[in-house]
Structure 1
């Protein structure tokens, strides 16, 4: 299983409440419903442990993908292309990191 971690901040022009509403109503249900995705979570950074510093990213997405080949097909679907385009309107240069368990 591959876990994809997405780190991002919102664009300066993005409205936080509009993004969070979109994530709850569109992004999370759509991505969670993909056959290739076992788990999809969007997390909001709250702070740095034992520090007064600001986290470098506002949001983190976690996708647990059970089949990367199927994920490629799912991501290429018309519905996911629309969701991805909407995501790009909110996210400022997101990092998509593919990971695996040790």
Structure 2
């Protein structure tokens, strides 16, 4: 069984000579590519690996808090869009959930 968390984050892309440099300013993560699309694809992979690394080390909550993330209540079904100054990237973080005899227990 799988579960996937999705993070929608702001991103910027700038042309620097023959390369496109992409960044996720809220996490201070950068990447690059030969095209704008490749730079964004590489940025998504870098952010995904960052989140997985933080999760595996048990530091994801601290990393999010240090980057200014705060849990908020969803007030409407409309998704909030980043300003027009930024693009938006969707970063899927998949998890595998082992099935233990068909029983699921809350560990919260």
Same structural fold, with TM-score higher than 0.5 when normalized by the shorter chain: no
TM score, norm. by length of structure 1: 0.26
If you compute each CA radius of gyration, which structure gives the higher value, 1 or 2? 2
Q: Per chain length, whose mean CA-contact separation is higher, i.e. which structure has more relative contact order (CA < 8 Å, sep 6+)?
A: 1
> Which protein is richer in helix relative to its size?
1
TM score, norm. by length of structure 2: 0.25
